[in-house]
Homo-oligomer: A and B are copies of this chain.
């Protein structure tokens, strides 16, 4: 089958790899109908050391079940399914608490920007969706695999509700869907920090009431001005770079929550009297257990109330996947949909 392999920073290739097969009785094989490129994929695209072997890429997909292991029930060949970016058994103590990303039998997908993918723990992982391969809802359904669930996770962990004011840091797909999620949870005031106007325009459509293009101290000052000097109760950090963390500390209200879903590209950061402790700020977040949220978010997509798929602004085939990475890296595309 054709599949996307990264060989180092900036070096993404379409290759022919062996077709995936069942390896465990809990596996399934899914033919990929839609995949996409994630902001997270850009981190190795910037920094991965050259590798002779390469790494299969992609962790977001929906598709059709082609083969099922003997211990998988609840799924059948031909089912259309969406998959969270992390597989999990959906039965252990962590999954029961909604923390699928800490399932001891779980892990993160790689290799979904391809014609097919092997799915471990298929029964706990895959969620059937009642649509056909030609459904116009596919882009929005695909966001349930990661970016919508991740934005929602940021908002949930920050305790967003009708009473909370919200700042979202980052105008990538996750940031914009964090806006949509905060709006969905009832937030009345949502400040989006981002400087790409086409993106922040979509952010406004998703529910942002204010846009702050300034960064760093200027951006912090602007958010403080907008909030009577206090900052916002919730800060959803959807970037992962250290300046975004510092910005979050700058705009969070005393007693508020910084909820991080951008994968941190740093290890140490300020947490003491001068940053988190004195103002009683809570720091939370992590890799989103999107499986836990699909049941809740799916009806809003299927019934057309929400259109998270608007984050896709370019569609490519597998042959063009290298161009897709470049376009996202250059901010020429917000999020790239892949049709194998």
Which A residues are within 8 Å of any B CB, using their own CB?
94, 97, 99, 101-102, 157, 245, 254-255, 260, 263-287, 289
Taking CB atoms, residues of chain B closer than 8 Å to A269 are 268-269, 271-272
Taking CB atoms, residues of chain B closer than 8 Å to A263 are 273, 277
- Given A264-B273, A277-B264: A254 and B102 interface contact (C-beta under 8 Å): yes
A to B CB contacts below 8 Å, 28 in the list = A94-B255, A99-B255, A99-B280, A102-B254, A102-B279, A157-B282, A245-B271, A263-B273, A264-B272, A264-B273, A265-B272, A267-B274, A267-B275, A268-B269, A268-B271, A269-B272, A271-B271, A271-B283, A276-B286, A277-B286, A278-B286, A278-B287, A280-B285, A280-B286, A280-B287, A280-B289, A282-B283, A284-B284
> In the assembly, how many copies of this chain are there?
2
* CA distance in complex: A25, B269 (Å): 43
* CA distance in complex: A274, B267 (Å): 7
Chain A interface secondary structure, helix, strand, loop or mixed?
A: mixed
- Given A254-B99, A268-B268: A286 and B275 interface contact (C-beta under 8 Å): no
Interface centre among A245, A277, A283, A285 (most CB of B within 10 A): A277
* CA distance in complex: A225, B126 (Å): 34
Taking CB atoms, residues of chain B closer than 8 Å to A266 are 272
Taking CB atoms, residues of chain B closer than 8 Å to A276 are 283, 286
Q: Decide: A264 and B254 in contact? CB cutoff 8 A.
A: no
* CA distance in complex: A276, B260 (Å): 10
Q: Decide: B282 and A284 in contact? CB cutoff 8 A.
A: yes
Taking CB atoms, residues of chain B closer than 8 Å to A278 are 286-287
Taking CB atoms, residues of chain B closer than 8 Å to A97 are 255
Q: 8 nearest interchain CB pairs?
A: A280-B286, A267-B272, A102-B254, A282-B284, A264-B272, A99-B255, A283-B283, A268-B268
Closest to A254 in B: B102
